Amino acid sequence: MSYASRYFPNEPTAPKVVTESIPGPKGKSAIASLGEVFDNRCAYFVADYEKSVGNYIVDVDGNVLLDAYAQIASIPLGYNNPKLIEVAKSDKMTRAIVNRPALGNFPGADFEQMQRDLLKHAPKGQTHVWNGLSGADANELAFKAVFFNYQSKKRGFDKPFTKEEEVSCMENMAPGNPEIAILSFKKAFHGRLFASGSVTRSKPVHKMDMPSFAWPTAEFPAYKYPLEENEEANMAEDARCLAIVEDRLQNWKCPIAGVIVEPVQSEGGDNHASAAFFQGLRDLTLKYGAKLIIDEVQAGCGATGIMWDHERYNITPPPDLVTFSKKMQSAGYWFHDPELIPNQPYRQFNTWCGDPKGVILAAAICDEVVDNNLLEPLRETGDYFYSKLESIQKQYPKLISNLRGKGKACFLAFDMPSGSLRADFLGKMKLAGVNVGGCADVGVRLRPGLTFEKKHVDIFIAAMEKVLPTL
């Protein structure tokens, strides 16, 4: 019996759309009234999380949608998962909620075990974790670790700060606050605070009007599809992009202490790269003394059919830092080199230093994935999904192109001819009972939870077959 059948006996067998538009009348009224207390301009609909179950999200109008977007790829195990409800109701969670500690100063007796439970699920080659609160936070904490390491190595790990450094950093000036950079890729998305925003390169609306650090970009490979038919061109593309990275590492106006990259650029359009590209990047970072940070915020936690997507590339040696959030319902960065623990206490520090609630949840989610062997059926579901989409792509070559993500479970995407057709498609898919999201200008990205099964794929495909002829 499948996980969804066992855990969600009451999961609907099909979507049900009861209003002529989504949101329907109740949803429209709920959005309007929400607008008095919250920015409602991005609300697709108002959900009823009490009634949502498994792979189905229910809205306040009573519409029941198959959810292949899962809260921007952040719900791992379906709505109202009974195992997570058990964890949420546990005394351990209650204590974590009502006695949130300043973990750095007054860790609780149960915190060590929580960390160990989480560390069991570290990416291959990673042995440590530092806890944060969101993907942007995790990336910025990783940057701090990288900058501290770079400057401490330059200064000598056992050397104290100089007087000049101490005085200048209080004025936000060098040498205490050095000019030093993180390299990122065009179309990357790593968050929307100020340093994370500086490495994000997805859309102007994500970056406009914010002061930023003048850090360098390189180009992420833009492959031709299908991959099998374009091997030579795509290898040349890898080489072209790596040459740009090397140029930046050699010639940028200030030292580049780290390179951050997503294993799949998700917000930026579901852009994939080859094992050779990632290994080339690893080699270059080693050659030029920069740390390699892999941002697994969206692709990690099982989404691509293995626990951490970059593991499939056997990057050697493993990346220096790996960040996580979203499906982990928590955030932080994994690492393995003890030199990335700052050479003095209170450098990587803040009041909460993470959140035991999040650590408990993240460990419970990963345990659930492993204990139920969820990723093997997910990979099968993904292969099935891909083959169905491949047929549709052949059937509708003017509407669907660049199907990508093969072998990465349900972490699939395709392009549509224009942003307006894409918007039309997404809206009509909702009315056909399926919630699905876009990425970049014309992409459609499939981001269901880890509990998605072939029966859900069939429903998704049936909805597409209904919608595409109407576009």
Window 55 to 74, contacts with a second copy (CB under 8 A)? 57, 60, 71-72, 74
Q: Which stretch binds a second copy (CB under 8 A): 144-152, 282-290, 421-429, 450-458?
A: 144-152
Nearest to 447 by CA among 78, 69, 77, 71: 69
Confirm whether 335 is a catalytic residue: no
Q: Does 214 bind a second copy (CB under 8 A)?
A: yes
Q: Which two tokens mark 125?
A: 């080659």
Member of 63, 329, 402, 451 binding a second copy (CB under 8 A):
329
Member of 4, 17, 22, 46 binding a second copy (CB under 8 A):
46
The catalytically annotated residue of 67, 295, 309, 320 is: 295
Member of 121, 190, 201, 336 binding a second copy (CB under 8 A):
201
Confirm whether 16 is a catalytic residue: no
Judge contact between 355 and 164, C-beta under 8 A: no
> Pairing between strand 413-415 and 321-324?
unpaired
CB of residue 348 vs a second copy: minimum separation in angstroms? Answer: 7
Judge contact between 456 and 12, C-beta under 8 A: no
Q: What x-and-dash track marks residues 358-377 binding a second copy by CB under 8 A?
A: ---x----------------
141-145 long-range CB contacts below 8 Å, 24 or more apart?
141/332, 141/333, 141/348, 142/258, 142/260, 142/293, 142/321, 142/323, 142/333, 143/182, 143/195, 143/258, 143/260, 143/293, 144/347, 144/348, 145/321, 145/333, 145/335, 145/340, 145/341, 145/342, 145/348
Q: Which two tokens mark 289?
A: 């003394």
The catalytically annotated residue of 45, 147, 189, 425 is: 189
CB of residue 84 vs a second copy: minimum separation in angstroms? Answer: 4
Q: Is the N-terminal amide bond of 317 cis, ω within 30° of 0?
A: yes
How far does the chain reach from its first CA to its final CA, in angstroms? Answer: 38
Q: Does 1 bind a second copy (CB under 8 A)?
A: no
Window 151 to 170, contacts with a second copy (CB under 8 A)? 151-152, 161, 165-166, 169-170
CB of residue 76 vs a second copy: minimum separation in angstroms? Answer: 10
Q: Output 295 or 399, the one with its CB closest to a second copy.
A: 295
Window 73 to 92, contacts with a second copy (CB under 8 A)? 74-75, 79-81, 84-85, 87-89
Q: Does 357 bind a second copy (CB under 8 A)?
A: yes
Confirm whether 153 is a catalytic residue: no
Q: Output 280 or 449, the one with its CB closest to a second copy.
A: 449
Nearest to 410 by CA among 110, 61, 32, 66: 66
Q: Does 12 bind a second copy (CB under 8 A)?
A: no
Give the whole-angstrom CA distance, residue 356 versus residue 360: 6
Confirm whether 295 is a catalytic residue: yes
Window 220 to 259, contacts with a second copy (CB under 8 A)? none
Catalytic residue list: 189, 295, 326, 351
